[in-house]
Structure 1
């Protein structure tokens, strides 16, 4: 952990805190005040958001160990913006629901500035993997 400065760790914790507060304000009321059952995909999304929220709570204490969760978040949101939102936006056919989703997903732009990329490269790209057998 000596590779990552205390400032970078606090910036990373700030990222987790943003997720914990933001999702906490949006997801928990949905779960607590739910009446009846969810449709299939809404239930999947809510459960995934709750799991992501829980892992981000852990990230407040263990920011580097939970880093793959933030990398996944940056990856899927970037892919969605590039493959779903951008084509319909550039064609001038974006609807209100897609625009609303794109705006909420654009929060992802802060995370690349918080992630310690040298650590990511050293530990996930350069470092030898575990044995297969």
Structure 2
């Protein structure tokens, strides 16, 4: 069995879709690189607990997105996680605040940043996801 067959056959995903995935990873690498790294490198005081957690998670996402440039299909779980948490946050936290007119400037700014997630459903190769993460037999337990 070839490596492609073990991985779910990269041939199932068009070259255009692979380029779209790489484009999204590149957007993350450049965007987070410009936004997060200056604050990490030039930090003069310690972060509050949750701010430190967020910044470290963003740096980790940035680093994994670099791997996504080379291995776009193998790094799909990172994009699925990004789509999942942002969708949940926007639906459970932001939507009720917006409907009730209780949005503050900080939440609005974060929500606008998170709305980039609307691109992901058009970039993710859903057939590949279904075949390799839903339909495919799971790893053995013992």
- Give the alignment partner of residue 80 of structure 1, picking from 89, 92, 97: 89
- Could you tell me how far apart the structure 1 residues matched to 2:78 and 2:102 are? 32
- Establish whether residue 52 from structure 1 lines up as the match of residue 36 from structure 2: no
Corresponding residue number in structure 1 for 2:7: none
Corresponding residue number in structure 2 for 1:4: 13
Runs of 4+ in 1 over 4 A off after TM superposition: none
Q: For the aligned residues, what is the CA RMSD? A: 0.6
1:69-107 CA-to-partner distances (Å, cap 9, x unmatched) read: 000000000000000000010011111111111111101
Could you state the TM-score of these two structures normalised by the residue count of structure 1?
0.98
- Establish whether residue 27 from structure 1 lines up as the match of residue 30 from structure 2: no
Structure 1 spans left out of the alignment, 5+ residues: none
- Could you tell me how far apart the structure 1 residues matched to 2:114 and 2:32 are? 12
- Could you tell me how far apart the structure 1 residues matched to 2:139 and 2:132 are? 12
Shift of 1:36: 2.3
- Give the alignment partner of residue 99 of structure 1, picking from 91, 94, 108: 108
User: How many residues get paired?
Assistant: 133
